Amino acid sequence: MSSIFVDNDPGKYEDSQLVNLIPGYTSHIEEVEGLALHYVAGGTGSPLVLLAGWPQTWWSFHKIMPALAEKHHVIVIDIRGMGSSGKPDVGYSKKNMAHDILNLIKKIGYEKVSIGGHDIGATVAISFAGNFPQNTEKLIVLDTPHPDENMYQLPMLPVGLPVYPWWVAFNQVKDLPEKLVEGRFHLIQDWIFDQLLKDQSSISDFDRKVYSQAYNDKASIRASNAWYQAFTQDIQDIKAMKIIDAPSIGITGSDNYEMLKLSLSPYVKNLEMKEIDGAGHFLMEERPEETAKSILRFLAGLE
């Protein structure tokens, strides 16, 4: 599915307009220790923080946000370097980004939250739970583990892998990616979506335009690549991280179930796993009802 189409109203992809499409949610920007963090919040009940990943923004949760808001105060954050949040030159280790989230939730008025994340957001959520156990109620990991030394075993050639993760290496290169894909980030984005989705139509042309607009400039590409360039530090940090005691769940599709379970088990004491049939990497878009139900049941202690 292509994201190239004529559009005379690019403003409709801005946060101020997107949030109007989700009843009960509002958009905010708070400054914490000199960093502007954008978040969207709605609903009432116990606090639930959600963090998106590459190559997306908070909008990746839009299909499940209404259901979650029926039981929880949902706070969906654009992490450092994402969307409308700040894009400084440094600070992209997942431990430091978890500290960003801690600063924000305290400024909002919470000391303890349940936290969940997808893709890069999942790595930040795991780091949050491991480094700030006193601030973590429950942990939700959507399809992606934290970087550890197993990443050094990724092959240079695409042997025996369903989808070769070439972007992990590509995003390590400094300066070049932003020169190559500025203004045409959709070329990478659409390839990623089309390869990692079971149902390519589950991320619509509109959704793809939201994401490509968020990553199309040099600063956004440079900042998002910095998430990957921090992996060597993240691998060292997880060695010192405390075993996560908070009740935790890994939610993933069938293809990734065993990998996620094996990857999380050394770092999570109380781990549950949930397999969602028919979901690829982007399970919130492909199977929103099942994903929301799994999250709600887990938070209610029913899984």
Q: For the whole model, what pTM was predicted?
A: 0.96
Percent of the chain with pLDDT over 70: 96
**Is the CB of residue 293 less than 8 Å from the CB of residue 287?**
no
Q: CA–CA separation, 297 vs 5, rounded Å?
A: 40
Is the predicted pLDDT of residue 6 greater than 50, yes or no? Answer: no
Cα 295-299-303 angle, rounded to 5 deg: 75
Q: For residue 44, what are the contacts with CB-CB under 8 A and spacing of at least 6?
A: 69, 72, 73
pLDDT at position 160 is: 78
CATH architecture of 10-299: 3-Layer(aba) Sandwich (3.40)
Q: Where along the chain do its domains lie?
A: 10-299
Condensed to tens digits (0 to 9), the pLDDT of residues 247-281 reads 999 999 988 999 999 999 999 999 999 999 989 99
Host H or E run for residue 293:
helix 288-299
302 by Cβ neighbours in 10 Å (0-12 / 13-18 / 19+) ranks as exposed
Q: Tokens at residue 10, please?
A: 């690019």
**Is the CB of residue 52 less than 8 Å from the CB of residue 78?**
yes
